[in-house]
Chain A
Amino acid sequence: MIVLQNASRWYGQVIGLNDVTCQIGAGITALLGQNGAGKSTLMRLVTGQLKPTTGEVTVFGLRPFANIEVYRLLGYCPEIDNFYESMTGREFVVYLARLGGYGPTEARRRADRVLETVGMADRCDKRIAGYSKGMRQRIKLAQAMVHDPRVILLDEPLNGLDPVGRREYMDLLAALVDQGVAVLVSSHILYEVEQMTRSILLLHRGRLLATGDLRVIRSLIDKHPHRIRIESQEPRRVAEQLVRLPYVLSMQFDFAGGAIELECKEPERFYDELPSLVVENDLPVSGFSSPDNNLESVFRYLVGG
């Protein structure tokens, strides 16, 4: 759906995006990176607000800059928290639906539908100026959905949402994906992104650092051992068995917490072999987890932080 081919974007002497090549398809894809990594630049290139300095960006095979054919297929929820403040939420969504080419009746019908979907039906007749941050995020999503786009781009959409709101928002995105909509979400809140998708694009200083499934990316980083925490009432006994495994590099005991934290270089193999090891040796393992199984650590490893 979205293809970037050696796309670069310079702002004068500053590089926003550096030679990025990737494809974004169905499902939810997360665009990750710290502030200034180039997430918003990539979003603006895809939404045709910017032109690439070099390379090419296409959406459904079309160049997006000022291309109304692309805008029919694309919904965009910007990061900015700015609106036509004097409007009510409903007026705002209806206005943008009208700009989508719908007549007044159809625009109102569509606005009502999406406002219901994002949970703003009962509050949409108040002025936007009086909205909370969470309500603003919902209204922004509503305007992005109002013309039934095939791709929705969301720039930092979870900012300002309370935990319940975030859960609802994520459910909403999952429902959109079920309807066949491709969703690209940019965020630096890694924990939340992790709950939405495992398909990521990782940007750092304008460069695409990694792309694909989070677990695959994680397994490729073999120069950084994977940390695994195993909880047990008899950590010494468990350690005795685990230390024999050739890919286990080191171990640390946490007697107070009743756990061992080990470093291993082939986590997939370890996870495959652990159950049989526990059963065959009757090991008292009450649980295991990996502090490295999150995007934060993947990001940290990849950027050498």
Chain B
Amino acid sequence: MFGFLFVDALRDNLRFRRLWPWLLLAGFCFLVAFFWREWGFRPRPDRVYSLVSLTLVFKVLALASAIYSTSVIGREVEQRTIVYLLTRPVPRWMIILSRFLASSIVVTLIGVLSVIGVSLAAYRGEAFANEMLWRDMGALAVGAFAYGALFVLISLMVNRAMLVCLLYTFGWELLVPNLKGDAAALSVFNYLEAIANHPEVSQRRNLLTFLSGQLAGESVTPMGAFMTMAIAVAILAFAACWWFSNFEYLPRDDAA
């Protein structure tokens, strides 16, 4: 049963109709890196790659995760088809877990495609010799699961989950990693940045350093960040499964 649910969710997430906006965004990341490399200010490949990756690709990842994760159950509630799911002999945790895994894998693919595009634009023929690319792929996979687990849980707990997730993505995740002190520990991006382990994009403190979340400097080791994220994913996914198994879900109009 788990396999059927997982494959079905994966197939649904990979439908071209759902995927094409993300392919466009991946193309956009490629174009930004390409034009910067061609005509930009100080277009060193590592600098171009690092900046575009941190400021754009990781944001695309969080955005994709917000969209895919909130639709894990949210779309069924909106379409009012959730009633068919919830009156079948399928454990509710299995529905959540299989769909969470499927959406996280697709979000990882989106992130990996984007970052490969950026590496191709920045390094051209030596794109895959770029060490940061491989670390980024790992960080993107971890990020897809971490954001996914967090956003799935949010989508199960609050009504306007998309709004909350977008505020988190473009507010919290932009601001908090740049704060000094313990607040950064509450940002997923802070850990992803530690796993990606990019060199500092600039010696000076400017907008690009802010956007790439490097104002505060690194505070976590890559292994520490990975372990923290792994534990967080496990806890958040468990919480989402528990929540969905114990609370009521009605079609949107009926719940009002």
Contact = CB atoms under 8 A, between A and B. Distances in A.
A49 B248 contact: yes
Nearest to A73: B89
Interface string B87-98: 111111000000
A68 B90 contact: yes
Contacts of B246: 66
Given A82-B81, A101-B1, A49 B90 contact: no
Interface stretch (A92-100, A156-164, A219-227): A92-100
B245 interface: yes
B81 A76 contact: no
A71 B88 contact: yes
Nearest to B81: A82
A74 B83 contact: no
Contacts of B8: 95
Contacts of B245: 66
Contact of B84 (A44, A143, A147): A143
Given A68-B89, A74-B87, A99-B90, A50 B80 contact: no
Interface centre among B85, B87, B245, B249 (most CB of A within 10 A): B87
B88 A96 contact: yes
A76 B81 CA distance: 13
B251 interface: yes
A100 B89 contact: yes
A256 interface: no
Nearest to A85: B79
A48 B246 CA distance: 11
B4 interface: yes
A245 to B, nearest CB: 52
Contacts of A95: 8
A71 B250 CA distance: 17
Nearest to B84: A96
A49 B83 contact: yes
Contacts of B86: 48-49, 66
Interface string B229-256: 0000000000000000110111100100
20 contacts: A44-B250, A49-B83, A49-B86, A50-B250, A68-B89, A71-B87, A71-B88, A72-B89, A74-B87, A76-B87, A78-B84, A80-B83, A82-B79, A82-B81, A82-B251, A83-B81, A99-B84, A99-B88, A100-B89, A101-B1
Interface of B: 1, 4, 8, 79-81, 83-92, 245-246, 248-251, 254
